[in-house]
Structure 1
Amino acid sequence: MPKPQKHVFVCTQARPEGHPRGSCQQKGCAAIAEEFWFQLQGRNLLGPVQLTTTACIGPCGVGPNVLVYPEGVMYSGLKKEDVGTIVEQHLVGGAPVAALLAPPDLWG
């Protein structure tokens, strides 16, 4: 297996209903993860891009959240419709999607 050029982490954290932190699951992360698989597979990008679903990556209140490495770019508040833009503009084109970036203060 070749070393991936990019690694995408999609938070799929699930917490019980009413948990004070909430969770990306309650905000539709499953549809986002599925759309990443669909988009990457359809563009033959699995390999150059590694996709991993993960537990909590931090800012639950602004999820669903996605991290892209090696750049360390975090996207938040995503919808399924945003995935194609991230794939095309960031993963293929190399430019993060400014309108979808997590607020800069999340990184403290």
Structure 2
Amino acid sequence: MELPEELPQLYKRHIFACHTQRPPQHPRGSCGAAGAGPLWERLGKRIEALDLTGEVGFTASGCLGFCSAGPLIVIYPEGVWYKPQSEADIDLIVEHHLQQDRLVEDLVVVLSR
């Protein structure tokens, strides 16, 4: 069976946030060790406070594969990777990307394998 041209979407956007926690001395690092916990908590609260839960999915993920760059989130369907470092960064992502459909260019991460 071939894939259809377009599949129905549950959300307008879906955010995956790495929750991997490795020991601080681990050579690969981790988003958890880089302080992701409070940032993701803030992101979840902002999504709820702005009543975006019906259009924005927010999923805790395991490792996204770029451990030394963390903390990281990826937002689909655009496939944009962000590296927020503060609650203010989270607020910018919510306001610009989720509400205004605009990139937060200073926080975008371009990754390569």
Contact kept in structure 2, 1:65 and 1:77, CA below 8 Å: yes
Percent of aligned positions with the same letter in both sequences?
Answer: 35
Matching of residue 21 in structure 1 with residue 32 in structure 2: no
Q: Larger helix proportion, structure 1 or 2?
A: 1
Q: Which runs of structure 1 show a deviation greater than 3 angstroms over 4 or more consecutive aligned residues?
A: none
One-letter identity of the residue aligned with 2:63: C
Of residues 33, 39, 47 in structure 1, which corresponds to 2:40?
33
Paired position in structure 2 for 1:107: 112
* Distance in 1 of aligned mates of 2:13 and 2:101: 10
Matches within 5 A, 1:66-81: 66-81=73-88
Once the two structures are superposed, residues 50-93 of structure 1 have per-residue CA deviations (whole angstroms, 9 ceiling, x without a partner) of 00011111211121001000000001253222111000100111
The two structures have a TM-score, normalised by structure 1, of: 0.90
What are structure 1's unaligned runs of at least 5 residues?
none
TM-score (norm 2): 0.86
Q: Distance in 1 between matches of 2:16 and 2:85?
A: 13
Tell me the matched-pair count.
Answer: 105
Consecutive unaligned residues in structure 2, runs of 5 or more: 1-8
